[in-house]
Amino acid sequence: MRKHGCRKVASLRRTMAELGEAGEAELQRLVAAEQQKAQFTAQVHHFMELCWDKCVEKPGNRLDSRTENCLSSCVDRFIDTTLAITSRFAQIVQKGGQ
């Protein structure tokens, strides 16, 4: 199994060498984008766990109105916070570019 992994790494290195600088830069951009997606997904899962732990006392076939309102408020706070953070980062990036 280890030899197979080493062959994959060697093959990836050869492929990257063949790509040249432009191709390597594009590959790095794609890897960075995938890492950002994975990080965002992990954050969403963590957030969902927090809301679940906070709002759901005993799972059943249906959500009662209190649980539903709690989950809705929790999601709303998450969205508002995410938008505020995104806006702030955009401001920082814009100021850095000027």
What digits encode the pLDDT tens for the residues 21-36?
A: 677 777 788 888 888 8
C-alpha distances in angstroms, 82 versus 32, 49, 75, 88, 96? 20, 17, 10, 10, 21
C-alpha distances in angstroms, 53 versus 48, 49, 56, 69, 85? 9, 6, 6, 14, 24
Is the pLDDT assigned to residue 1 strictly greater than 50?
no
State which H helix or E strand residue 44 sits in: helix 2-55
For the chain, domain boundaries: 1-96
Rounded CA-CA distance 76/72 in Å is 6
Q: What is the pLDDT of residues 70-88, one digit of tens each?
A: 999 998 998 898 889 888 8
* CATH-assigned architecture of domain 1-96: Orthogonal Bundle (1.10)
Rounded CA-CA distance 67/51 in Å is 10
